[in-house]
Amino acid sequence: MKLLRYGPKGAERPAVLDSDGNMRDLSGVVADIDGETLAPDSLAKLAALDTGSLPLVEGTPRIGSAIARPGKFLCVGLNYADHARETGKQPPEEPVLFGKAANAISGPNDDVEIPRGSEKTDWEVELGIVIGSRAKYVSEADALDHVAGYALVNDVSERSFQSERGGQWIKGKSHDTFGPVGPWLVTKDEIADVQNIDLWLDVDGERRQTGNTSTMIFGVAHLVHYISQFMTLEPGDIIATGTPPGVGLGMKPPVFLKAGQVVTLGAAGLGEQRQVMVTA
């Protein structure tokens, strides 16, 4: 299934794509696409629905973040060796974890704000894991049993705030709109091999990033297992799994985003995003 949320920001409604790619409203079935809806029993009930009998969503409404109110928005840093090296760092021996604040979450095609005082706003196309059942001290062999599905994420970053202003990375990762998620949550049964998903990102139509999840240092199952040793993962939590090479910071000389530029990105099977850069 491809689950999504549509409508004005703060008033999104749940939906599912039917076999013809049309949006069908789910508000008569579930309240939202959140942790409760993503539990295994709930997903099984949604999968059994006759989507063609659900109300058709007319027009082209705004698409919101694919997940409502995640308890955690976690990220994995430097998870592609080439990306680590382009930023001047060695590939890590264990996953590098950090968080994005929940206010960063936005729709896949919403404008992205360049923060006041920013000179180093950057892009990062990523695969996002969405948790479906509680995961605490899970084994790597059982880790994928706790995954509801996957979503496309742009881990927008302000590099100066991230690395030059002291403290933790979260300052450079959490500005409003710095976490577009979607357009869909794609349930894991639709993904044949999560470690073989093509990723790409363009800036103003010029290809900047091309990658594949096969080159991750730490794969999806290992990440869910690893993170669950430090904190309990709950249904609806999002884990952005790292970005392949090609970020602005790694270019020589570095290149960063300006107001008016357009970023487009996508992942095989997970859809595409489009964001216009605007001044905060």
The length of the chain, given as a count of residues = 280
Is 110 contained in some domain?
A: yes
Which of helix, strand or coil describes residue 206? strand
The average pLDDT across 196-210 equals 98
Q: Give domain status of residue 83, yes or no.
A: yes
Whole-model pTM above 0.95? yes
52 assigned to some structural domain: no
Containing 224, the helix (H) or strand (E) segment is helix 220-227
What's the average model confidence in pLDDT over 208-226? 97
Single out the residue of 242, 257, 256, 244 nearest to residue 98, CA to CA.
242
pLDDT at 168 over 90: no
Question: What residues contact 70, with CB distance under 8 A and at least 6 apart?
Answer: 35, 102, 105, 236, 237, 238
Residue 274 falls inside a structural domain: yes
Residue 38 inside a domain? The answer is no
CB contact at 8 A, 183 and 108: yes
Query: Between 110 and 87, whose confidence is greater?
Result: 110
* Domain presence at residue 58: no
Q: What does the alpha-carbon distance between residue 280 and residue 76 come to, in Å, rounded to a whole number?
A: 26
CB-CB contact of 201 with 261 (8 Å)? no
Q: Print the domain residue range for 254.
A: 64-279
Helix (H, G, I), strand (E, B) or coil at 213: helix
Burial label for 116, CB within 10 Å (0-12, 13-18, 19+), is exposed
Whole-number pLDDT of residue 87: 82
Assess if residue 57 is contained within a domain: no
The span from the CA of 34 to the CA of 102, in Å, is 14
Using 50, 70 and 90 to split pLDDT, how confident is the model at 226? very high
pLDDT > 70 in the chain, percent: 100
Determine how β-strand 73-77 pairs with β-strand 238-240: parallel
> How confident is the model at residue 272, as a pLDDT?
98
Band of residue 166 on the pLDDT scale cut at 50, 70, 90: confident
User: What span, in angstroms and rounded, lies between the C-alpha atoms of 195 and 247?
Assistant: 21
Report the chain's mean pLDDT, rounded to a whole number: 96
The CATH number of the domain holding residue 217 is 3.90.850.10
Domain count, the chain: 1
